[in-house]
Structure 1
Amino acid sequence: MDDLLIYGSYGYTGRLIAREAVSRGGAPVVAGRDAERVAALADDLGVEGRAFDLESDVTAHLDGFAAVCNCAGPFVDTCDPLVEACLETGTDYLDVTGEVAVFERLARLGGRAERADVTLLPGVGFDVVPSDCLATYLHERLPSADDLAVGIANWGSLSRGTLVTTVRNLGSGGVVRRNGRLIRVPTAYDTRTFDFGRGPTTTVTVPLGDVVTAAHSTGVEHVAVYVDLPNPVIRAMKAGRSLESLLGSWPIRQGLERVVETAVDGPDAAERERGEAVVQVEVTDGDRTERARLWTPNTYALTADAAVSSAKRVLEGDAPDGYQTPSTAFGHEFVLDLEGVERELLPSPTQV
């Protein structure tokens, strides 16, 4: 992985990915806009570091690299200059986004990427590797499925970058896919009961990337993503809809971002080591339903493993050109190659 550049490498997730790449014998170049932080990380890992911002001539900085892994969020702010440079230089692009707008934007560039012999592979972290692979696995079992629901439990603590992205999206509501189209819906638009292995659990809709990627991977026209949150939190989300215009205002968001930047980093090593997340997907055609569950390590531990494994396979030429999801790039069994991941096919419920 000597011809891999990791941008945003000194952020919480970027550090994990860079360390994972080096632990596997790679020597990626670590990069970002802060020269001091880049140099400190490069010295710590014994690799080359490059400092540049995305307002500069990014193409000049990608010369000689076969792939870039973007870890600098919010990705809606960073993906465009990096992707444009990748398309100009023939460099493959990966990132660890979970942002709906980024998946949608890059999907529209699929044809251009194919003509440039470039792979565009966003979402090589916890969102969306497990859910995308599970969705494709189930769709192969039930090709007639037209409705897909993703449920996630035990997400764990969030990193600074994830929280900043969340703050940026305050006031924008949620997103689901209906009849093949992305539809804006209110926050906490819908609730659904999943059994993640410990009894029925109430979950609530959240705007995650599967509403784009699952549709691309399977062709299913109805997609929604749900997360396990405490009932009081769900009630508060619904009650807070009337405040969304206030929360989404620039002064409020700016203040919250400052708090996050100074007070949050991410889960420590102990939490990453002991954490366990659960992803469950259900598909139905109205007559039959197929369900399966993945048990995974902590979300950030899985992200580091999945991102480096994805980069390695892209560098080896395993991924097709154009816009890809993890399962269209590597197949739905890819997630089972990651450490600590187990898949369980669940009994199909009796249809009434």
Structure 2
Amino acid sequence: MDSPSRWMIYGANGFTGQLIAREAVRRGLTPMLAGRSAEAIRPFARELGLEGRVFNLDDAREVAAGIGDVSLVLHCAGPFSRTQRPMLDGCLSIGTHYLDITGEYAALEALHGRDREARQANVVAIAGVGFDVVPTDAVAVRLAKLLPSATRLRLAFRGGTLSRGTAITMAEGAGEGGLSRQGGLLVHEPMAARTWQVEHEGWTYAAVSIPWGDVVTAYYSTGIPTVETYLVVPPVAALVMRGSRRLAPLLCLPAVQRLLRERASRAKGPTEMELQEGRTVVWGEVTDRAGHRRGMKLIGPDGYRFTVESALAAVGRVLAGGVSPGAWTPSQAFGAGFVTTLPGVELLQGVGRA
């Protein structure tokens, strides 16, 4: 990344933000580090020899002042259902490019709805430049090109250990149930309403349907009207997820939400060994009304490591001026080939069983 433009990692004290900041410094980059906690940001910035800045997202003027001298913000502070809008408002108000690493479908949908504002402000706005949703988005687009008549897209992934921030976001959405896109419309449904058998290295895995960001991004990237997203889980976990359907109303209660957030806050994320040696797998499949079928599989590094690589690559692309203003999915902004430029990523044809 040769651009001298100043850029910021907001939420740099979080698990993923720290990973990105450390890797940026290792590569000779000098992002500004920012967040809401002075006790966390300032020592971390000093450790890395970077400039640190503290501001909240509660006041639009404070946000605009906090980002006023940077060309781009990489927003890493979730839950994005609460933090995306104020940061994006600030970026649009002063013409600062906006990237984030969300996988929350509501935040992805909200960003897409602000395309006109982004164009008018001459701002590039891209949500989901991490493991959520760069690899799945790329698989979706490649499959759509293989079968242009596709009417249904299924995507599944196998993840790893959760960080504190990701665990809290998942806890807050525990009572919302499942979600898919059917005939172009977002449809709420029970969690784990569907199952899909996928294969990898001779093993068969059960994947259950979950609400994932691609019900938004894959639809806008490909135009395929039916999009379903799945997570590979152990059989016991699948049973628990199906059983939670009856508990959904209880999971939304404030007292239960507090308990879930407290438990989620104990998550520590993957170890250094897991980060370096862990692997993720993404399965994709498209079908059309005539019964034609195409499949694809992506193998890549641990999800958090994937996010570090893809987020920094996305920052470099935008600062280099290669993306037009507007609200984009990752593949719309960078092309389906973007994912293959990232280290440790392999694409294979075929997924396995239906």
Q: Which TM class, normalised by the smaller chain length?
A: over 0.9
Counterpart Cα distance in 2 of 1:224 and 1:278? 17
Counterpart Cα distance in 2 of 1:348 and 1:224? 17
Q: Is the 8 A contact 1:289 1:348 kept in 2?
A: no
Q: Is the 8 A contact 2:279 2:301 kept in 1?
A: yes
Residue of structure 2 in register with 1:9 after alignment: 12
State the Cα distance separating 1:318 from its structure 2 match: 1.4
Residue of structure 1 aligned with 2:273, choices 270, 275, 278: 270
Residue of structure 2 in register with 1:164 after alignment: 168
**What SS does structure 2 have at the residue aligned with 1:201?**
strand
Deviations 1:246-277 (A, max 9, x none): 1221111112212322x222111111111001
Greater CA drift, 41-50 or 230-239: 230-239
Counterpart Cα distance in 2 of 1:255 and 1:48? 36
Residue of structure 1 in register with 2:244 after alignment: 240
Residue of structure 1 in register with 2:130 after alignment: 125
Counterpart Cα distance in 1 of 2:352 and 2:228? 19
State the Cα distance separating 1:5 from its structure 2 match: 0.7
Residue of structure 2 in register with 1:48 after alignment: 51
Counterpart Cα distance in 1 of 2:193 and 2:97? 36
Counterpart Cα distance in 1 of 2:166 and 2:122? 31
Over the aligned positions, Cα root-mean-square deviation in angstroms equals 1.5
Residue of structure 1 in register with 2:28 after alignment: 25
Q: Aligned AA for 2:144?
A: H
Deviations 1:262-318 (A, max 9, x none): x22211111111100100111111332111111100000110111111011111111
Residue of structure 2 aligned with 1:142, choices 140, 147, 152: 147
Q: Is the 8 A contact 2:126 2:328 kept in 1?
A: yes
Are 2:327 and 1:323 equivalent residues in the alignment? yes
State the Cα distance separating 1:128 from its structure 2 match: 0.4
Residue of structure 1 in register with 2:183 after alignment: 179
Q: Measured at CA, do residues 268 and 98 of structure 1 come closer, stay the same or move farther in structure 2, by a change above 3 Å? A: same
Q: Aligned AA for 2:279?
A: E
Q: Is the 8 A contact 1:86 1:93 kept in 2?
A: yes
Residue of structure 1 aligned with 2:198, choices 190, 194, 198: 194
Greater CA drift, 243-252 or 77-86: 243-252
State the Cα distance separating 1:347 from its structure 2 match: 8.0
State the Cα distance separating 1:348 from its structure 2 match: 9.1
Q: Is the 8 A contact 1:124 1:306 kept in 2?
A: yes
Q: Is the 8 A contact 1:290 1:348 kept in 2?
A: no
Deviations 1:324-344 (A, max 9, x none): 111111111101111100111
TM-score of the aligned structures, taking structure 2 as reference length: 0.95
Residue of structure 1 aligned with 2:64, choices 59, 62, 66: 59
Residue of structure 1 in register with 2:99 after alignment: 94
Counterpart Cα distance in 2 of 1:175 and 1:58? 32
Deviations 1:13-61 (A, max 9, x none): 0001111211221100000010121111101111100000111321111
State the Cα distance separating 1:229 from its structure 2 match: 0.5
Q: How does 1:294-309 map to 2 (within 5 A)?
A: 294-309=298-313
Q: Is the 8 A contact 2:284 2:351 kept in 1?
A: no
Counterpart Cα distance in 2 of 1:196 and 1:78? 37
**What SS does structure 2 have at the residue aligned with 1:171?**
helix
Q: Aligned AA for 1:284?
A: T
Q: Measured at CA, do residues 266 and 348 of structure 1 come closer, stay the same or move farther in structure 2, by a change above 3 Å? A: closer
Residue of structure 2 in register with 1:106 after alignment: 111
State the Cα distance separating 1:90 from its structure 2 match: 0.7
Q: How does 1:60-75 map to 2 (within 5 A)?
A: 60-75=65-80
